Each structure stands twice: as structure tokens, then as C-alpha cells.
Structure 1
Amino acid sequence: MGTHNLQEEELSRSPTSFSSAIYSQLPAVKMTSFDTYNTKTTSISFPWPASVTGLERIALSAQGDLQRVLSAFFAHPITIALVYSHTFTQDSPTASLVPLTLPNHDVIASASPTSPIIQNRQVHLQCNGKIVCTATSSVRITSPECAQLFLEEKYAIGQMFRRLEKVPAFHLLSVGLGEVDGSPTHNPATEKYSKRLFTLGSEKANEQQLWRKYKLIIPDFECEILEVFPSREMFVHGESWLTDAHLANGKRRSRTPESDIDVLDLAVRTSRIQQNLILVIGLGFLLILAFEVSRFKTGTGLHGL
């Protein structure tokens, strides 16, 4: 019971405003308990979109271990590929962000709650060379140990929790389908943040996106993360989705009622042509036979010429 109270206490703390502007377009959700338990029962409660499947809910409920969950699902390793990262320092928790060039051991060694280091980053989770998730994060670091592991030794977010042997407090903020506006990008010229849509090109492809926004918190390391899964088909076809084998199978199986009717009509017409040809040949043979019989009876057959 003590661990449960500790997690609730961590979640109830008002998180710093370092990411409030970044995710202002996404709905604000009151900090509530995502999962509850007692001595014999565990329950997860969240207002999922109606069409979200059981497998999708498992991935959306991952608490800092999405790589492990996806690796188990696809039966392949999941690799992190960095897209971009922008690192900043603050003289105080409410001060403006100051860009930080890495490596900078002195600043890393001085990270503290009063002088935090902030990093905004985006990574691709890749499996068998294919992007299975795009994760855009804002990370707040307030200790030299966490700063060294994350910024110098380059541990990814999920690996940080395993390296530190800490289970993060988790809160799922929102889940949705389709386009999502919430990607932090830094403009060095203005030192402000802008947003861009996660899009896959076509409207139909964008509708296949699945995303979630959530927070992970351990002492001295806080993350707010937006994850976008590029296609819900991955949760339907699994390994075959990685190689697009499901597309080839789908083409072989994609016979519509109209196509079946066309095939049947062609078969019927072919059969009729064959029957007509046999009938013509048969009639011709009978005519020749009748003619020869007639000539034979009159004595003018071929042998009588």
C-alpha cells in the first residue's frame, strides 16, 4: 500500500510548465489514477476511443517499456533512431530556456531542481528497418546522475528507467486517431516553438494513425511524450506488416462480388461457344452422312462415278 500512495503522491504534484505551451493543442486531462489495485484485483480505466482494439490498448498502456512490448509483439528487436534533439538550461525553474551545446560536462554536473536541463527530442522506434512509432518528448532533468546517463551516455528514455531500476509514475493524458497537432520543433532564430501535423500524405493514411500523450515521472527525470503509430494495420498483421506481405495477400484475396460475377459470366460465355461449336460440327457431320446415304441408294455414290 505504501508504494501505491507514493505513486499517487508523485502524480498529484503539479508538473512544471516546461511543456504546457508545447502541447496546448491537445486536451487537458485532470490527473487521475490510470490503474488501481487492491490485494487481489488490478483494474485499468480510461475513456478509450470506441474503435480501439485490445492489442492497441496494450501498446497504449505501456509505461516506459513500449520497446519491450513492441519487440514481443513483432518478435524482432526495436531500435531507437534519433531524429532531432534540442537541449536547454534554465537559471531557475521559471526562467527562459537558454540553448545548450553538448557536450558540456560542467553544466551536466550542475543539474539540479533549481537549474534544470530541458531536452526536446524526437525519435523513431524502428523494427526490421520500418518505423513503428514516432515519439516526440520533452524531458526535464534535475540531477547530474540522470543528466550524465541521458545526455552523455545516450540512454534512451525507456532504457533510463531500466538503468536506474525505477518504475516511473505514469499518467495517460489522451488517446486519439488520425492527425495530431503537438510536435515540438525549435526555431533557433526566434527561440520559440511551433507545431506541425503528423501526416502520412493521404487522408486515408492519416486516418490510420493512432496516437497517445502521456507522462512518465521518477525523481530528477520527468518526461512528457507524444507517440504516433503510423498505421493501425501493424496491430492487425504483426510481422507480415513489416515486410508488406499482408498487401500481397490482400491483393490475392481482394475479390469483389462484381469481379466474381465477371468471372462467372466469362465462364458461361466460353462454355456456350464450345457447345455451339460442337453442335455445328455435329450437324455438319450428319448432313454429310445423309448426303452420302442418299447417293448410295440412288447408285450415284462416290464408288459409282
Structure 2
Amino acid sequence: MGSYVKHAQTTIPSHFGDIMSQRETSLRLPDDFGGLERMLLTANGNLQRLLSAYFNAPISVNVLYNKVMSEPNTYGPDQTCILRGYLREVNLCINGIKGQPSRTVCNAKSAVYITDPAVLRLVEEEGVGIGQIFRYLDRLPNFELFSIGRSAPKEGKKDYTFWRLYKLSCPGVDCFINERFAPGFLEPGWIEQADADIALDHTHDKVWQFADAMGHDFLSFCTRL
């Protein structure tokens, strides 16, 4: 998002249940989103697989940048110590469908905070990629949804998009992610159309904020991304 907006907010619970969770799973998102959109908005680390299943085609990860953060050294209300932080931006792209060139389905910017020396050694000494940490550790990450939003379409165009801010975490790793989906990618014929700009003006977005996000410094995170 270009900037975080506070208007049109609705506060709703942020726990939705996860794979293998012992809790009862109860999903209740705004009716402004369709069923497929709600599935994607609540994906807990398996978005690439869901998109591949939807399009019945490979989804690749195109890393745009992956750099070490110079700051902060701590974060959150409990001032958790950060051993190393990374800023990443990737595109999830669909390849080889209907003879069309690669298309960007989703853009994701993330801030990854490593707080465990053992995890840091995996990254810096054993070469484990930042995007593969959870899989390498064989951990199902905890999923917290901070906020979701929908852009307002321009008159006469179907250029609306939707986005989410969320956190994936396990002991030693916290990953804050801002994902924006391509305008109209769930509509018939999208593959054959020209690429649309994902980075739309979000000034007039309708935003839903989740209750548990209030304990996190995610507004600062938004400005950093």
C-alpha cells in the first residue's frame, strides 16, 4: 500500500484456525469478498499451492530483492531482540498457461525477523533461503491476520484489487507480509489480458482491521514496506 488509511475500518477477530489446529475453525470475513478471495486472504503459508491449484499451472517465485535490514534491533511491545532482519520483495507468477507469457498474480513484500541463533546459522552458514525457513524447520507457522482491504475500481474499469497484512511465525522467526493481488486475476480471460499495475493508489481503499493487530507495531511495518 502507498499509505495506511484508517477510514472504513471494521474490527473483527483475527484467529481463524490452522491446519492440524486443535481449535474449532470458524471463518467469518466480510461479504465484500467472494469465496475464492476469502480462501486466499486466510491462506496460512500455502498461497503458492492454492494459486497453482486454481490455475492448474506452475506458480513460480520471482525474488525482486532480499536485503539485510540495518534496523530495528528490537520490535513489538515486549521489545524482542532481533539478531538479523531481512527485507524481501517477490512476485508470484503463473507460467506456461495457454501459451501466454509469465503473469504476476501476487506481489509480496515482507520483513523477516530472526530471533534464534540456531535459525540464523541455518541462513548465514548453511545457506537456507529466507523463503524456505518454515519448510526447512518442518514447522507449521502460526498465522495472524492484521488487516485486509479492497481498492475502489476506476469508473468503467475492472481494476480493483485486494490485499492483506499478516504474520507467519514460529519460535525464532517472525515474518510480516504485505500481499497485493493482481487486479481481476480471478475473472475469465485474465490470462490473455495485458499486465495490470498491482501497485494501485490505495488512498480510498476500504479497510478491515483485526482486533489482535493492535498489539503489534504493524503501522511502522507498513511504512517500511
TM-score calculated relative to the size of structure 2: 0.65
| 8 Å contact from structure 1 (residues 141, 222) kept in 2 | yes
The CA deviation string for residues 220-258 of structure 1, in whole angstroms up to 9 with x for no partner, is 110111100011x22233xx533449xxxxxxxxxxxxx
The CA deviation string for residues 57-105 of structure 1, in whole angstroms up to 9 with x for no partner, is 11111001111111111111211111123313569526xxxxxxxxxxx
- Residue identity opposite 2:92 in structure 1: L
Q: 4+ residue stretches of structure 1 with deviation over 3 A?
A: 26-32, 35-41, 89-92, 148-152, 202-207
What does residue 222 of structure 2 align with?
none
Structure with the higher strand share, 1 or 2: 2
- Greater RCO (Cα-Cα under 8 Å, separation 6 or more): 2
- Residue identity opposite 1:69 in structure 2: L
Helix, strand or coil at the partner of 1:79: strand
> How far apart are the structure 1 equivalents of 2:122 and 2:191?
32
Point out the structure with max Rg over C-alpha: 1
- Residue identity opposite 2:49 in structure 1: R
User: What's the Cα RMSD here?
Assistant: 3.6
Equivalent position to 2:17, from 35, 39, 42: 35
Q: Are positions 1:119 and 2:93 aligned together?
A: no
Task: Map 1:73-88; keep pairs closer than 5 Å.
Answer: 73-88=54-69
Of all paired residues, the percent bearing the same amino acid is 32
Task: Map 1:38-187; keep pairs closer than 5 Å.
Answer: 41-46=24-29, 48=30, 50-88=31-69, 92-93=73-74, 114-128=81-95, 129-150=102-123, 153=127, 155-157=129-131, 159-178=132-151
| 8 Å contact from structure 2 (residues 93, 105) kept in 1 | yes
The CA deviation string for residues 104-128 of structure 1, in whole angstroms up to 9 with x for no partner, is xxxxxxxxx6452111121111111
> How far apart are the structure 1 equivalents of 2:67 and 2:155?
31
Change (3 A) 1:214 1:92: closer
Q: Are positions 1:25 and 2:25 aligned together?
A: no
- Residue identity opposite 1:86 in structure 2: K
Structure with the higher helix share, 1 or 2: 1
| 8 Å contact from structure 2 (residues 112, 173) kept in 1 | yes
Change (3 A) 1:40 1:86: closer
- Residue identity opposite 2:114 in structure 1: I
> How far apart are the structure 2 equivalents of 1:204 and 1:210?
18
> How far apart are the structure 2 equivalents of 1:234 and 1:25?
24
Change (3 A) 1:149 1:204: farther
Helix, strand or coil at the partner of 1:42: coil
Q: How many residues of Structure 1 are paired with residues of Structure 2 in the alignment? A: 179
